[in-house]
Structure 1
Amino acid sequence: METLLLWLFYISSLYAFIPGLITRLFGFRVFRRGLSDSRFALTFDDGPDPVYTPQLLDLLKRYDAKATFFVVGSNAEKNVDLIKRMHEEGHLIGIHNYIHKTNWLMRPATVKRHIQKTSGIIQAVTGVKSIYYRPPWGIVNLFDFAKRGDTQIVLWSAMFSDWRVRIGADKLTQRMMKKLRGGEVFLLHDCGSTLGANRGAPGEMLIALERVLMEADRKGLKSVRIDDLIHITETAKLEKKGGPAPVDGDKAARSGAKPASRSKKIVVSLWLLWEKVFHQLFHLQSTNEENPLLHFRIRPYHGEPVEMNGGVKLKSGDRIMELHFDNKRLYEFGSRSKSPVQLAIKMVRGMEKELPKLADHIANHPDLHDVKALYGVSMINKGPEQFGFTVTDLPKGWFASSSRLYLKFLLRVIHPEGGARLKQSAEHLVPKLIVMPIDHLVSHYMQDDSKRKMNGNPEVVPEEEPVLNASVSCP
């Protein structure tokens, strides 16, 4: 039962909750707001609708406003003439899945088929392949990030509950006027037939939208397509970067480490909060409660046999000590390191201190004497073999794929070079199993008169990367 709860928690958190939270709150890896004084974006979901979409297109044409339509593929199939008209009148057409169903309730392969099928419908009519994607209700899953190279996920900065008739045109107008300024991405709906919507709601939206477009003209504001607002925003960011560098008054700057941005700090805080919940739920322990580097739990191994150092074989049912690096310490190491080499040195020294503590813990607890191996999942390059670990591939499947995405996110957060390192070494960033016989741990690392038994080996620093192990449960 505990294993089942573990997998449910892990899958729901990693697959859905955490990606949804950081994208909706902090715009991580999505576009939701632009940088412009005079341009904003009108976006419309769920259509095309044979009744309301033609009225909307007429309205946009009267005010020379451009918009982005995130269409539902099944609706697009039924209203090909409206897709053609959107394109001919200069609007951008994006993807909103083939049917209006949340990505949390669909497998990654199903979401991919929805996107490809809808994109194919749009391309067949317009001759243009759509790369702009808004998942229904703005809910993303972990694998939506993996499609970043093929699609641009677009959310919004302002929504108004315009799918409800009871809001009415007057209240809707007030809400929209408050958000009418450059850079905003409005979320509106030109179809009221989806689950939870009212069929006549788009009629109220059209009344309010005309008032807003009149006010936008008066203020000198212009509605543009999402791709245009993205281009304007990227240009503004480049111009901003070309300005004078900030005054070096920060401790991190003086030390050579790059200070974290506010958004990154918020993402890290949420990530560490989730880790605390994980630790409490699955009763992770540590040999150093005040400032731990490693956490662990004892559980049976479930998987294929693995041959470790000394010819010892780990088999299904054997008890293991499952390791998890403390992500707060990892982040501290990364944020205080000037380079990958410094990070590697800190990780090596940290492991040299922790392994003897684990050996002593095993030796001093008779109920752990039947534990057969240390066990973990790591984004590995070079290094763990020097400590006595055997490195082996994860079995292909859901766990390996999700672990790779999570550990890439971890590397992006803690590594001094962040995303740049991912681009440089993407082919090497593959999660591995690392295992060590407990007998090897005790014989090589157990304290003896306060001195570790290291076989006389000098300290060796990994040539490139440290071990990156995280709160990812092993199969």
Structure 2
Amino acid sequence: MRKRSLFFIAVPLLLYSVYTVVTTFFIRVTSLGIRKKVRKGNGIMLTFDDGPNPLYTPVLLDLLARHQIQAVFFVVGKHAEQNPGIIRRMHEEGHSIGIHHYEHISTWRLTPEQTHQQISRTAEVIKRITGSEPVFYRPPWGRFNLVTPFVSHPYTTIMWTHIIGDWKVRTCNEKLAERLRDIGADGSIVVLHDDGSNPGADDEAPAHMLHVLESYIREAIAEGIRFIPPDELTMKGQEHGHVH
């Protein structure tokens, strides 16, 4: 009887692990179907997750406009619906708007049908606001499940070389500047966050991130570092890079 009980516990756990953790590990290690770096890239690509935020994202767009930098914004569909003017501004200023699920929810908690809905619903929101189909996708927390590669196949899945903890105020104040300076200008893709409302993040962290980012951009430009525009991710010959 005890063996039978263990069987009914172990098998679902094993299946769930394959559906979530094992799949994520395999995709991220092999780079199967994902892009982690701008191949042969000269410079650094900035990407921003979790927005748009009505307070912080316009400030970020102002900063990027001052320095003529285009970035990729992986937006939460629900936030996009609530802030269509910001989405339109992103589009008009040459940024690429990618999918980051309709709600900021991990694929590890989603059924195959729910995974499809989170992606397709966000794509519909972006197209309705901008008139253009999204090109890029990034799952929240960089987590995949077994069906993610199939339901996201119309889009290019973009991961990163550097994710540097800017969702915490303390990290922004103590470590972010140094971590940004340490990023190689060789096609690196950097993840930052323009919204701090998600579990585990500090609500006010984007304000601290923006302060550090402004100084970093000025320093980087003075040193001749180039910020790579999103269209270079769609150029022919792009291949998968490696996570640092």
Give the TM-score normalised by structure 1: 0.47
Q: Deviations over 1:81-125 (max 9, x none)?
A: 000000000000001111111000110101111111111111011
Which of 184, 203, 208 is the aligned partner of 1:204? 208
Is contact 2:42-2:228 (8 Å) kept?
Answer: no
Counterpart of 2:52?
A: 48
Q: Does 1:221 align with 2:228?
A: no
Q: Does 1:104 align with 2:108?
A: yes
Counterpart of 2:80?
A: 76
Alignment of 1:265-284 (within 5 A): none
Structure 1 window deviating more from structure 2 (210-219 vs 122-131): it is 210-219
Tell me how far apart the structure 2 counterparts of residues 236 and 32 of structure 1 sit (CA, whole Å). Answer: 6
Counterpart of 2:43?
A: 39
Tell me how far apart the structure 2 counterparts of residues 219 and 24 of structure 1 sit (CA, whole Å). Answer: 32
Counterpart of 2:69?
A: 65
Q: Does 1:123 align with 2:127?
A: yes
CA shift for structure 1 position 24:
3.0
Per the alignment, in what secondary structure is the counterpart of residue 238 of structure 2? helix
Query: Which amino acid in 2 is paired with 1:151?
Result: Y
Larger Rg: 1
Q: Deviations over 1:221-255 (max 9, x none)?
A: 22234442342752899xxxxxxxxxxxxxxxxxx
Alignment of 1:402-441 (within 5 A): none
Which of 67, 86, 89 is the aligned partner of 2:90? 86
Which of 159, 166, 175 is the aligned partner of 1:162? 166
Q: Does 1:18 align with 2:22?
A: yes
Counterpart of 2:190?
A: 186
Call closer, same or farther: CA 1:180–1:15 in 2, change over 3 Å.
same
Query: Which amino acid in 1 is paired with 2:102?
Result: Y
Call closer, same or farther: CA 1:165–1:150 in 2, change over 3 Å.
same
Tell me how far apart the structure 2 counterparts of residues 141 and 37 of structure 1 sit (CA, whole Å). Answer: 29
Counterpart of 2:141?
A: 137
Q: Does 1:175 align with 2:179?
A: yes
Query: Which amino acid in 2 is paired with 1:64?
Result: Q
Query: Which amino acid in 1 is paired with 2:33?
Result: R
Query: Which amino acid in 1 is paired with 2:130?
Result: T
Percent same amino acid among aligned pairs?
Answer: 36
Tell me how far apart the structure 2 counterparts of residues 83 and 57 of structure 1 sit (CA, whole Å). Answer: 11
Query: Which amino acid in 1 is paired with 2:136?
Result: Y
Structure 1 window deviating more from structure 2 (18-27 vs 52-61): it is 18-27
Is contact 1:35-1:232 (8 Å) kept?
Answer: no
Alignment of 1:295-334 (within 5 A): none
Tell me how far apart the structure 2 counterparts of residues 198 and 233 of structure 1 sit (CA, whole Å). Answer: 39
Is contact 2:35-2:157 (8 Å) kept?
Answer: yes
Give the TM-score normalised by structure 2: 0.90
Call closer, same or farther: CA 1:27–1:97 in 2, change over 3 Å.
same
Counterpart of 1:386?
A: none
Unpaired stretches in structure 1, ≥5 consecutive residues: 238-475
Alignment of 1:447-462 (within 5 A): none
RMSD: 2.0
Structure 1 segments, 4+ long, off by >4 Å, are none
Query: Which amino acid in 1 is paired with 2:179?
Result: R
Q: RCO greater where, 1 or 2, for CA within 8 Å and sep 6 or more?
A: 2
CA shift for structure 1 position 28:
2.5
Q: Does 1:27 align with 2:31?
A: yes
Query: Which amino acid in 1 is paired with 2:228?
Result: V
